[in-house]
A and B are shown apart, each in its own frame.
Chain A
Amino acid sequence: MKKFLAAAAVSALCSTGALAEVKVGMITTLSGGGAGLGIDVRDGFMLAIAQSGRDDIEVVIEDDQRKPDIAVQLSDKMIQSERVDVMTGIIWSNLAMAVVPAAVNQNVIYLSPNAGPSPLAGKGCHQNYFNVAWQNDNLHEAAGAYANGTGYKNSFILAPNYPAGVDALTGYKRFFEGDLAGEIYTELGQTDYAAEIAQIRASDADSVFFFLPGGMGISFLKQYADSGIDLPVVGPAFSFDQGILQAVGDAALGVVNTSQWNKDIDNPTNAAFVESFQAEYGRLPSLYASQGFDTANLFLSALDKADPSDADAFREALRAAEFESTRGDFSFGPNHHPVQTIYAREVIKEGDVFTNKILGVALENHSDAYAAECKM
């Protein structure tokens, strides 16, 4: 168990040595494949806690190894032994589905810094569940909207054969008004896309949309760039994020992707965040880091107004979402999922570093397709 007493340096200055009064449980992925995302969320979150200067917050951090059963047990531990007030941290939808429903039913507030599976936005929504990132479909919907705006008429779309992949293609199709030149479900964890790329080449598509998180996206983009096909590619931010962009290299240059955040979003909070994150950790912040940072700030804003022991008041304070988000305007819809603007951004090279710049707005003040199903 790694206990981080918030802002240790600050509390050293103040000689009060106050006892931790609020306990946050963070379950995230810190080892094995996919650890990069969890580390970013954790670092973003802890940065905000440190900047708050509060010494009455204790954050208990545990590694779920990306295994659902481990995550469930850690959640039991957080609730039963640590008796945390608030939980956060989970990266993956399948782990969120394993942990969140049980946790929120035991009167724990859960703040999602990344995963947003559709059941939790619709029929399975809960007053104790707040999503600070996005509903899973959002970025894909924005990609569909962007494709319309650019005038694409015939898209070839592909995603891995698992629930988030199916949601991705559904999300794209929900907004895309053109035809589909092809629709492929690949194997989860697949590393070679030669067969799919050949099918894209043989089709009469005018654009390609893909959702292939992690290493799958790196492989696809490198192979696609090498295939000589020059159809434009659109995708959600996950394959173009700061952490993995360097591994894709030139193959990603010019690709348009959709995101609710970018480091050049022009507001003081964001500028300060990017600068302080770089200063603290020596790397550019990623989308995930921004989500972790926002999650912590949302939590801190509510903490200023109410005590977690007063559940109703604390929930109300969270729902108000009165904090300075790195994304600019941020508010919650009726299902406690964000209503936010989603941008189209393009991969560029700044010096030696690959990064993104915003092209324009893909969807303005966008909510999600499931809010109506939520009876809270």
Chain B
Amino acid sequence: MSSILIIEQILNGLQFGVMLFLMAAGLTLIFGVMGLINLAHGSLYMVGAFAAAAVAGVTGSFLLALVAALAAAALAGAIVEMVVIRRLYNAPHLDQVLATFALILIFSEGTRWVFGSFPLFLDIPDALSGPVTLPGGIEYPLYRLTLIGIGLAVAVGLWALIERTRLGIQIRAGENDREMIAALGVDISKLYTLVFALGAALAGLAGALVGAIQSVQVGMGEPVLILAFVVIVIGGIGSVRGAFIGALLVGLTDTLGGVFLPELFKLFMDNGAAQKSGSALASMGIYVLMGLVLIWRPTGLFGARA
């Protein structure tokens, strides 16, 4: 296997990882600040993708589509927070799991009600389509490079937001001590709605960006949701830095595992069998990774020690 291929695969893993980060960041923030397990986060991802596809279909502008995705997901997030989620902050995890599971059902079938049962169309903007040649002669799709760039930019932006702004101070305070932010005179319910909408917007952005190279369809959120949970559990729930590291780990493990495990198995099996067993093992790879991390550190890599 050539080094060019390996570098390309590492780029693929990175790209997958940063997109997972967009999902995971919101999820981990919401847990960190509000202590809420939100299974419906994948639905917000789907809302973003559908909003983008709908707007792109009407206007033909990808940029407008992204704006629509951000707005629609943030709005859906804010509404859900105010109508349902708000009542769950002090509820046991179990109730949160059930309620947000119910939200998935409502979002998924509701979207099918509105948009029908067939996948929607959303394409890469012309300016970003096609491959570019990187130093070393690697041909790589420009759009995927852009995704890596956007993902990293969001990561930096989020870091700056949390470390450098007033809102960030409130968020950090909220993670440590809820009574304290009340004492600081912060309107908690406004802060919570804001954080939830922020997380939702990030998920919506991810949905729109990824939707352009994947299929925009009902149920697209659930597989990503499970991966995002794996990410934040590996990173440590509540830690944005952990989510970032976890996302890259999961992205790289999944991509490289799928490529290299079958190759490895070919050393002692025939081609077809190696492909089958290798890819079977690779599909379990990230869960094995998560299991190992939790056995080693029961609260994840950057989680608060129990």
Contacts and interface: CB of A to CB of B under 8 A. Distances in A.
- Touch between chains A and B, by CB atoms below 8 Å: yes
Interface of A: 31-33, 35-36, 39, 161, 166, 183-189, 191-192, 194-195, 198-199, 201-202, 214-216, 218-219, 222-223, 226-228, 243-244, 246-251
A228 B118 contact: no
Given A166-B276, A195-B258, 14 more contacts: A32-B108, A33-B218, A185-B276, A187-B258, A187-B279, A201-B139, A202-B1, A218-B215, A219-B214, A226-B141, A247-B120, A247-B121, A247-B217, A250-B123
A137 to B, nearest CB: 16
Given A33-B218, A215-B214, A194 B15 contact: yes
Interface stretch (B85-93, B124-132, B164-172): B124-132
A226 B124 CA distance: 8
A248 B223 contact: no
The 3 closest A-B pairs by CB, nearest first: A215-B215, A228-B131, A218-B215
Contact of A186 (B116, B217, B279): B279
Given A187-B283, A218-B214, A243 B118 contact: yes
Contact of A194 (B12, B118, B212): B12
B5 interface: yes
Interface centre among B15, B214, B271 (most CB of A within 10 A): B214
B241 interface: no
A36 B109 CA distance: 13
B117 interface: yes
Contacts, number: 127
Contacts of A228: 130-131, 139, 141
Interface residues of B, number: 50
B80 interface: no
Interface of B: 1-2, 4-5, 8-9, 12, 15-16, 108-109, 112, 116-121, 123-124, 129-131, 139, 141, 143-144, 210, 212-220, 223, 255, 258-259, 262, 271-272, 275-276, 279-280, 282-283
B139 to A, nearest CB: 6
B219 A33 contact: yes
Contacts of A247: 118-121, 215-217
A195 B259 contact: yes
A245 to B, nearest CB: 9
B120 A219 contact: no
A192 B5 contact: no
A191 B215 contact: yes
Contacts of A218: 119, 214-215, 217
Contacts of B271: 183
A302 to B, nearest CB: 31
A222 B143 CA distance: 12
